């Protein structure tokens, strides 16, 4: 137990690696844990571990997780994307799709059947009903192809944090970029985003936190 009554989970067992890269809450109180050595699921006192050795997981480096409204778990790895629905796996890798990058850094969803995929070096991918569209610096006004984090506002606005080109907003088919040179953003390395109940956007950077008040307006 932790000092304040919390639970401390050791790396082994049951985690496949002590470096935890992402977390996602699943159905019925389950917790999905992405690590540098594989994927783990905690359901009560029971644990399940998925690696490249015992599952179709594209890579043991799990960088992003998303649980959608249908209960499916989307797993972004260094070598592609996987969808786990019950015991069924669906893979999006260099063997199955032609994407500009398979290093999946961030995942977001705003409606059933649609997944937005942030990649490292390949820009943004919108996946819907097994078709996809790529948004990158060559074909759109997205400020950078290195995407670190993403989140949706309640109005459907997509916010994207980049490695060194600041914050990007995608709304109604239009892009807008916010950097230190045209806004109060403290730094152009944006690594965390959250929208609160008042629709304010909180932005975590390498040089502090900023708040975009009433970001949907």
Digit-coded pLDDT (tens) for 82-114? 999 999 999 999 999 999 999 999 999 988 889
For 128, the domain range is: 98-212
Encoded tokens for 51: 């690696």
Is residue 125 one of the residues assigned to a domain?
Answer: yes
What predicted TM-score, i.e. pTM, was given to this entire model? 0.90
Residue 39 falls inside a structural domain: no
User: Rounded to whole angstroms, how far apart are CA atoms 113 and 66?
Assistant: 13
Distance from C-alpha of 8 to C-alpha of 100, rounded to nearest angstrom: 39
Half-sphere exposure of 167 (CA within 13 A, CB side): 31
Yes or no: say if 80 and 70 are a contact pair by the CB < 8 Å rule.
Answer: no
**Could you tell me if residue 86 is inside a domain?**
no
- How far apart are the two ends of the chain, measured CA to CA in Å? 44
72 found inside a domain: no
pLDDT of residue 130: 86
Which CATH number does the domain housing residue 200 bear? 2.130.10.10
Examine residue 65 and state whether it is found in any structural domain, yes or no: no
CA separation for the pair 140, 120 (Å, rounded): 16
Query: How buried is 55 (Cβ within 10 angstroms: 0-12 exposed, 13-18 middle, 19+ buried)?
Result: middle
Question: What pLDDT shows up at residue 8?
Answer: 65
**Residue 147: in which H helix or E strand, if any?**
strand 147-152
Whether residue 88 lies inside any domain: the answer is: no
155 contact partners, CB below 8 Å, separation of at least 6: 171, 199, 216
- What pLDDT does residue 5 have? 59
Asked if the structure places residue 149 within a domain, the reply is: yes
The number of distinct structural domains making up the chain is 1
Residue spans of the chain under pLDDT 50: 1-2
In a domain, 60, yes or no: no
- Angstrom distances, CA of residue 150 to CA of 8, 98, 190: 28, 22, 10
pLDDT of the residue at 1: 41
């Amino acid at each position: 137990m932790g000092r304040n009554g919390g639970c401390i989970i050791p790396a082994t067992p049951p985690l496949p690696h002590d470096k935890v890269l992402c977390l996602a809450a699943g159905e019925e109180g389950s917790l999905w844990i992405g690590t540098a050595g594989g994927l783990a699921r905690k359901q009560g006192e029971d644990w399940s571990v998925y690696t490249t050795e015992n599952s179709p997981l594209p890579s043991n480096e799990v960088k992003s997780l998303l649980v959608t409204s249908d209960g499916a778990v989307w797993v972004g790895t260094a070598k592609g994307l996987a969808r786990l629905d019950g015991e069924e796996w669906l893979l999006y890798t260099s063997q199955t799709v032609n994407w500009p990058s398979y290093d999946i850094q961030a995942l977001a969803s705003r409606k059933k059947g649609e997944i937005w995929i942030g990649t490292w070096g390949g820009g943004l991918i919108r996946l819907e009903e097994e078709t996809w569209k790529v948004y990158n610096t060559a074909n759109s006004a997205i400020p950078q192809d290195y995407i670190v984090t993403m989140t949706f506002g309640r109005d459907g606005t997509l916010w994207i944090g980049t490695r060194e080109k600041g914050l990007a907003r995608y709304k109604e088919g239009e892009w807008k970029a916010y950097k230190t040179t045209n806004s109060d953003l403290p730094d152009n390395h944006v690594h965390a985003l959250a929208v609160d109940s008042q629709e304010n956007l909180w932005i975590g950077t390498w040089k502090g936190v900023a708040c975009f008040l009433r970001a949907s307006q």
